[in-house]
Homo-oligomer: A and B are copies of this chain.
């Protein structure tokens, strides 16, 4: 691969990271802005990735005893008022349904029917703690009804001002787990179990390394006693909160009246949790792995594992090449990868070879296989891995390839994870003073707009004063890590004793 070769995505990450992201999404045909403010259209390639995320997580949720259910999209205003902190956090910017009819206006067209005003405004759910709490209060009466382990796949809406495809949109898709338990210990255990499931899924399926940790007070979910998070580093070295798991104590149980009789026939409030990940994960996937040629999709989550690209000029060549390609497609589909048949696409569209090839590069398909007349003669195929350079190809025996394909996919998955981990390590720095912190987040030069310091590992106590000081630098404590170094030290902002280092970074 020539050093000065032009990349498929312009601008590159270094030239303009934010614009690069938009261009990767566009080039892979994953999503686009809609005519509705802040709402996106998720196109088939982007949606297929979300479906794979859903399928993988859903299996893990069910394997741990959770069952799916569905609750109303609309939440009565009075429900939001029940939990004070929750009001503060969610009632502010939301879509409010006030009427239930349109009528023809005096000048033609449609107007809102003033006679059809609702008695109580309804809110499109920004999250469902309150409406699900109302059901839980009815469903639970005895300790025998606990634990109650429910998950919902749904759309939610938050009236965001600044939106970016997948990362922050007014409407987004997510799952929200809601559970109720008889004891505090069980609820805490559930909160941590689901955090572990997020870590496992995001690292092993999406090849995105995460740091598991506890949120500081100001970053907690409104109404939660404790919020846990998995934080990932994007290639601009900003942190992205990839999933959260909340221990809600008895706050929501009290607000919604979720009570049960224990074995001693005493009435008690249940202990509840909630946890969620969203289509934001697709954004995390893109920004962790993609390069200046477009999307790079880890095999376990890729809509297609392998694309076969027949190459020919004349009709006579076509017959021979397509015969080999079709036989190969069949052989590959009979192979299993990640517990299911391999996903193989044979691209026989009437397009130039280069256009086709680059199309699939930009879509991030893990393996591209070229089959031309010369390959047919020699009984081989040209295999290119998406985690290597676009012009880096290996000739493999056509007969041997199907049996090798699963191992190649597994190797790509592993390589992407190792690469992301190495990148995070490279851009994580132990920081021991405020000055060091400032320097770390001051760009060395202006040639790389939108690329930031990284993860600063620093002693910093969880106080409003400290949060305010960090905010001046546009930084936040991303989390107090659960695993790793717990050596105490001195807070770099207050000078007081600190129990352990925390992760400080800019964030999405």
Contact = CB atoms under 8 A, between A and B. Distances in A.
Interface stretch (A3-11, A16-24, A32-40): A32-40
A109 B81 contact: yes
A146 interface: no
A416 interface: no
Given A74-B95, A110-B81, A131-B34, A159 B101 contact: yes
A77 B134 contact: no
Interface in A271-321: none
Contact of A135 (B41, B87, B94, B138): B41
Given A39-B73, A73-B124, A68 B48 contact: yes
A110 B91 contact: yes
A71 to B, nearest CB: 5
A135 B34 contact: yes
Contact of A47 (B41, B69, B76, B91): B69
B68 A87 contact: no
A486 interface: no
Contact of A96 (B101, B150, B155): B101
A39 B92 contact: no
A87 B72 contact: no
A75 interface: yes
Interface string A100-140: 11110000011010000000011110000001001100100
Given A36-B76, A72-B171, A74-B171, A101 B94 contact: yes
Interface residues of A, number: 61
A164 to B, nearest CB: 16
Contacts of A419: none
Interface in A324-352: none
B99 A96 contact: yes
Contacts of A194: none
Given A47-B68, A68-B47, A135-B34, A74 B110 contact: no
A112 B94 contact: no
Most buried by B among A81, A92, A173: A92
Given A36-B75, A48-B67, A102 B97 contact: no
A39 to B, nearest CB: 4
Nearest to A152: B47
Contacts of A411: none
Given A48-B67, A51-B68, A155-B73, A112 B121 contact: yes
Contacts of A98: 96-99, 112
Nearest to A171: B73
A37 to B, nearest CB: 9
A70 interface: yes
A193 interface: no
A66 to B, nearest CB: 9
Contact of A91 (B40, B94, B102): B102
A495 interface: no
Contacts of A93: 100-101
A371 interface: no
A433 to B, nearest CB: 42
A42 interface: yes
A72 B36 contact: yes
A124 B80 CA distance: 20
A500 B92 CA distance: 60
A118 to B, nearest CB: 9
B96 A92 contact: no
A157 interface: yes
Contacts of A47: 67-70
Contacts of A81: 109-110
A365 to B, nearest CB: 15
Contacts of A109: 78, 81
A488 interface: no
A36 B69 contact: no
A497 interface: no
A50 B79 CA distance: 28
Given A81-B109, A93-B100, A96-B100, 10 more contacts: A34-B72, A39-B72, A42-B70, A47-B68, A74-B95, A93-B101, A96-B97, A96-B99, A100-B159, A124-B124
9 contacts: A35-B79, A36-B131, A47-B69, A77-B102, A96-B112, A97-B97, A97-B124, A154-B155, A155-B155
9 A-B pairs closest in CB distance: A39-B72, A44-B67, A42-B70, A96-B99, A36-B72, A100-B159, A98-B98, A95-B97, A91-B102
